[in-house]
């Protein structure tokens, strides 16, 4: 016989409280648990202990119902047109990817005194018309709210975030389904407003969705032992055991649409003791007639002894997984998954058929007291809490660097720099990146730099190996490298429009001239310092009077030969104070027609201060005794200028594999200065390395970089596991960090190409993310020689790097179909791959 649901629904909502037809009072909380795969055993135990304390605070005749809902979702495409080429490519790549969303709710129900016990045959679903023996009084509501306040405080002290649901969250509106209706009608999203037919004739069916219930039916079905955590073997190693919550296999690790219901019924301690004492006496008298009675009597006696001696809080529990299938094949697969999930707990799943409607009915928010008593097991709160899910999923940040959720690959944005600094997780934004060859360092740094560039940051990179050539070309930045045909050249004497010869610019030029003039250990006296200062002041005064003179080293050298030399003679400055002839002789190779006349006389790429993407590729000059020191000084001067003159704009300096630069005293002092000062200028200093031995033995790195880099990004360290203790000590990693780090890339999803990265924020937040790239991003960042050659060939053939990458990706997919026309006809193409090398 068909019935209208609104006449059968056993609960109503008033003033943020759910009231049942039997006089039960309930409050509902939205819950956010800490993220799975990010915690240590100690943290799980702490959360478990805190939750037990919160459960013990609840009065008798109270039911704790936690419902963890997992629903399949799709990543929606981002159609914003102002995004860059690579950002749009990433959005299209992840569009329609499926993942499981998690929503967790806790309902606390207080039963009135004298409420009749519910069984499978006495449920209000089967036998209605019951009237509560006692009406709800105002004092009952006040006492209940006081208990809820205490419960929330104790739960939040453990790190669990709770939010009390209001009437508007529980009930539906014209535009949004409330939590109550979402459960009753099995609506996958609150935006889907749809009334479904419920059929309880054969299990539970909501329209085309078939709900199956799998439970731990009796004491024999439960595991013989339980604990707050269990070991996840796929992420563990010989030296580490990776912990997850004991119930994770029925929650976030259960890959299907499902709802995990966890009932904990807290009875009056005195009533429970009296009932069990009577049962113990009865079984004792019957023990002589049956060995089973003797065993049962011993079990009840042990239970009572533990309850009294250990001051345990007795309770009844019931746990079930409700799967949601759309067809018979899916239902069969879900049954197998449920059996495997409970088996992972060392339990035995039973599929409920006859009592499935009653279990469904009892899980309605506010109706938990309708749980049949014959489906519960007596235990203590300590054991009951182990079966409660303690893991959430990766929430992500509103903005930041796009990475991927470790379990599903869903793109999540991670704010590494601003929110952690604001929240006190880190004290600086400096970055240290380490990993073995082929571990994905350059891919990760390319991806981060592209993201920061898209957000308006100024990026300066010191590289050895050409890892950033593709990205630099795509952004239209400046790429400085050295070849015999096109040698590297700069112009530190050039002042951009509006720039003046301030103290900082003058000091950097003096440092450059001294490095060209003097050897590293050669003395430099005060009179020489004053002479160079006066020379620079006079030179720029001359340029101000003669704007037709182009500022560069050539014209500065000519000024020294003529005007300044005459000035020194007129002022009778002796050679011992400043030997200008020696100075000119030593610097002659950098003047016109000299060996290095190209180095300081550039007429292109002059406005480095306003250029937002600059790469210095030092591979060909890293061992050059003349060029390398000059280039490092120019890099130092450039970044310091950006730090001090760009105000609040974000800027980042990346030094990748540039150990020659770091080992020199001048560059080492600069790195120390940058790592300690850059935070004040909204800046980031980053060092990237694969040399673990250099990392362990370098005092500069240990004392300056690591101590002043609160953000550490580490790649797969399995090949360094034998020297990991020294690495752990150098990096200051905790045992928790070691366990998480050694799990990187141990259980990657088959069929997907990506690398995992470990991120440590100030030693407080440690997580692993996927760094999965779209084909367009991959070919832009690749460092494989054969792939770089292929990209270069396609770029030459198609006229630009961007068009070449599109053509290459389309060719590898088999056709160009699916590439939006607006992307093909995009304006403002970046220069071709050959134009800025």
> Do residues 427 and 406 share a domain?
yes
Q: What is the pLDDT of residue 702?
A: 67
Last residue in a domain, options 742, 759, 783: 783
10-residue averages of pLDDT along the chain (837 residues): 56 88 91 95 95 94 96 83 86 93 95 80 66 68 92 93 92 86 86 82 86 92 94 91 96 95 92 81 78 81 81 92 94 95 94 91 92 91 95 91 94 95 93 86 94 95 89 93 86 84 85 84 84 93 92 94 89 86 93 93 86 90 82 85 88 79 63 82 89 65 78 88 82 91 93 94 95 95 92 93 94 60 39 32
**CA 552, CA 534: separation in Å to the nearest integer?**
17
The residue segments making up the domain with residue 571 are: 491-601
> Do residues 582 and 594 share a domain?
yes
Classify residue 147 as exposed, middle or buried by CB count within 10 Å of its CB (0-12, 13-18, 19+).
Answer: middle
Q: Per the domain annotation, does 633 fall within a domain?
A: no
> Do residues 332 and 362 share a domain?
yes
Q: What is the pLDDT of residue 692?
A: 65
For residues 23 and 115, the answer to whether their CB atoms sit within 8 Å is yes
Q: Per the domain annotation, does 830 fall within a domain?
A: no
Q: Per the domain annotation, does 802 fall within a domain?
A: no
Q: What is the pLDDT of residue 718?
A: 81
Last residue in a domain, options 363, 386, 409: 386
Last residue in a domain, options 755, 783, 811: 783
> Do residues 258 and 336 share a domain?
yes
Q: Per the domain annotation, does 717 fall within a domain?
A: yes
For residues 806 and 776, the answer to whether their CB atoms sit within 8 Å is yes
H-helix or E-strand containing 110? Answer: strand 98-110
CA 232 to chain centre: 20
For residues 614 and 480, the answer to whether their CB atoms sit within 8 Å is yes
> Do residues 371 and 412 share a domain?
no
Q: Per the domain annotation, does 777 fall within a domain?
A: yes
Q: Which residues contact 520 (CB under 8 A, 6 or more apart)?
A: 665, 666
Q: What is the pLDDT of residue 200?
A: 86
Q: What is the pLDDT of residue 81?
A: 59
> Do residues 322 and 419 share a domain?
no
Phi-psi group of 18: left, alpha or beta (phi > 0 → left; psi -120 to 50 → alpha; rest → beta) = beta
Three-state SS string over 700-722 comes to: HHHHHHHCCCCEEEECCCHHHHH
Q: What's the half-sphere exposure (Cβ side, CA atoms, 13 Å) at 788?
A: 15
**CA 391, CA 407: separation in Å to the nearest integer?**
13
Q: What is the pLDDT of residue 29?
A: 96
Q: What's the half-sphere exposure (Cβ side, CA atoms, 13 Å) at 263?
A: 31
For residues 832 and 801, the answer to whether their CB atoms sit within 8 Å is yes
> Do residues 469 and 382 share a domain?
no
CATH code, 648:
3.40.50.300
For residues 754 and 404, the answer to whether their CB atoms sit within 8 Å is yes
> Do residues 451 and 359 share a domain?
no
Query: Could you give the number of structural domains in the chain?
Result: 3
> Do residues 381 and 431 share a domain?
no
Q: Is 103 helix (H, G, I), strand (E, B) or coil?
A: strand
- The label of the residue with tokens 């929110």 reads 419
Q: Per the domain annotation, does 154 fall within a domain?
A: yes
> Do residues 41 and 148 share a domain?
yes
For residues 458 and 649, the answer to whether their CB atoms sit within 8 Å is yes
Q: What is the pLDDT of residue 817?
A: 43
Backbone angles phi, psi at 246, to 5 degrees: -60, -30
Q: Per the domain annotation, does 706 fall within a domain?
A: yes
**Computed from CA positions of residues 129, 133, 135, 139, in that sequence, does the dihedral angle turn out positive or negative?**
negative
**CA 784, CA 438: separation in Å to the nearest integer?**
10
The partner residues of 397 in beta bridges, in order of sequence, read 413
For residues 234 and 748, the answer to whether their CB atoms sit within 8 Å is no
> Do residues 247 and 346 share a domain?
yes
Q: What is the pLDDT of residue 449?
A: 96
H-helix or E-strand containing 365? Answer: none
**CA 350, CA 342: separation in Å to the nearest integer?**
10
> Do residues 577 and 467 share a domain?
no
Q: What is the pTM of this model?
A: 0.88
């Amino acid at each position: 016989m068909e019935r209208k649901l609104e006449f059968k629904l056993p609960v109503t909502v008033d003033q943020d409280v759910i009231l049942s037809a039997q006089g039960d009072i309930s409050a509902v909380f939205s819950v956010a648990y800490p993220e799975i795969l990010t915690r240590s055993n100690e943290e799980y135990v702490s959360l478990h202990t805190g939750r037990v304390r919160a459960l013990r605070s609840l009065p008798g005749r109270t039911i704790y119902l936690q419902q963890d809902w997992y629903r399949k979702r799709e990543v929606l495409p981002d159609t914003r047109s102002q995004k860059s080429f690579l950002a749009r490519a990433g959005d299209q790549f992840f569009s329609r990817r499926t993942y499981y969303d998690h929503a967790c709710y806790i309902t606390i129900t207080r039963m009135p005194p004298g409420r009749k016990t519910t069984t499978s045959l006495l449920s209000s679903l089967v036998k209605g018309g019951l009237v509560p023996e006692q009406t709800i009084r105002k004092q009952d509501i006040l006492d209940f709210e006081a208990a809820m306040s205490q419960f929330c405080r104790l739960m939040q002290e453990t790190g669990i975030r709770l939010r009390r649901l209001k009437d508007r969250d529980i009930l539906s509106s014209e535009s949004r389904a409330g939590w109550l209706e979402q459960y009753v009608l099995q609506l996958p999203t609150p935006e889907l407003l749809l009334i479904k037919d419920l059929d309880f004739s054969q299990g539970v069916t909501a329209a085309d969705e078939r709900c199956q219930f799998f439970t731990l039916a009796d004491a024999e079905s439960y595991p013989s032992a339980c604990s707050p955590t269990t070991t996840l073997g796929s992420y563990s190693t010989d030296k580490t055991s990776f912990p997850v919550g004991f119930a994770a296999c029925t929650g976030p690790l259960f890959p299907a649409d499902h709802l995990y219901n966890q009932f904990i019924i807290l009875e009056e301690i005195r009533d429970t003791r009296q009932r069990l004492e009577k049962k113990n006496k009865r079984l004792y008298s019957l023990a002589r007639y049956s060995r089973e009675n003797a065993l049962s009597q011993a079990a009840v006696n042990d239970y009572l002894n533990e309850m009294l001696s250990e001051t345990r809080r007795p309770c009844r529990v019931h746990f079930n997984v409700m799967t949601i299938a759309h067809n018979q094949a899916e239902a069969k697969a879900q049954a197998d998954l449920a059996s495997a999930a409970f088996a992972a707990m060392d339990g035995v799943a039973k599929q409920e058929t006859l009592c499935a409607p009653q279990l469904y009915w009892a899980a309605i928010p506010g109706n938990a007291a309708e749980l049949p008593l014959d489906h519960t097991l007596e235990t203590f709160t300590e054991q009951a809490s182990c079966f409660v899910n303690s893991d959430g999923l990766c929430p992500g940040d509103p903005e930041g660097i796009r990475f991927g959720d470790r379990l599903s690959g869903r793109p999540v944005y991670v704010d590494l720099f601003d929110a952690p600094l604001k929240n006190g997780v880190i004290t600086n934004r400096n970055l240290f990146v380490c990993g073995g060859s082929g571990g994905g360092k350059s891919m990760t740094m390319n991806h981060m730099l592209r993201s920061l560039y898209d957000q308006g940051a100024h990026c300066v990179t010191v590289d050895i190996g050409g890892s950033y050539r593709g990205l630099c070309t795509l952004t239209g930045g400046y790429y400085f490298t050295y070849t015999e045909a096109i040698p590297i050249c700069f112009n530190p004497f050039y002042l951009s429009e509006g720039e003046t010869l301030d103290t900082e610019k003058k000091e950097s030029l003096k440092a450059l001239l001294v490095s060209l003039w003097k050897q590293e250990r050669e003395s430099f006296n005060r009179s020489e310092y004053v002479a160079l200062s006066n020379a620079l002041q006079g030179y720029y005064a001359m340029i101000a009077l003669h704007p037709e003179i182009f500022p560069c080293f050539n014209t500065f050298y000519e000024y020294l030969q003529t005007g300044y030399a005459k000035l020194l003679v007129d002022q009778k400055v002796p050679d011992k104070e400043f030997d200008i002839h020696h100075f000119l002789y030593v610097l002659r190779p950098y003047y016109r027609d000299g060996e290095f006349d190209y180095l300081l006389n550039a007429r292109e790429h002059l406005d480095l201060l306003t250029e937002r993407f600059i790469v210095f590729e030092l591979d060909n000059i890293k061992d050059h005794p003349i060029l390398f020191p000059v280039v490092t000084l120019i890099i130092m001067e450039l970044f310091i200028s950006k730090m001090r003159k760009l105000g609040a704009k974000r800027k980042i300096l990346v030094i990748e594999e540039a150990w020659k630069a770091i080992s020199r005293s001048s560059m080492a002092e600069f790195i120390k200065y940058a790592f300690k000062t850059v935070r004040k200028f909204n800046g980031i200093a980053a060092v990237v390395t694969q040399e673990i031995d250099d990392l362990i033995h370098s005092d500069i790195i240990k004392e300056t970089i690591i101590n002043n880099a609160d953000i550490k990004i580490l790649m797969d360290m399995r090949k360094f596991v034998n020297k990991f203790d020294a690495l752990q000590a150098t990096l200051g990693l905790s045992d928790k960090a070691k366990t998480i780090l050694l799990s990187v890339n141990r259980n990657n999803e088959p069929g997907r190409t990506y690398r995992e990265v470990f991120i440590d924020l100030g030693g407080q937040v440690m997580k692993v993310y996927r760094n999965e790239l779209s084909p367009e991003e991959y070919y832009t960042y690749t460092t494989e020689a054969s792939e770089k050659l292929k990209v270069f060939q396609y770029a030459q053939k198609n006229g630009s790097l961007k068009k070449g990458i599109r053509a290459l990706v389309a060719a590898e997919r088999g056709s160009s179909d699916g590439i939006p026309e607006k992307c093909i006809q995009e304006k403002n193409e970046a220069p071709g791959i050959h134009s800025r090398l």
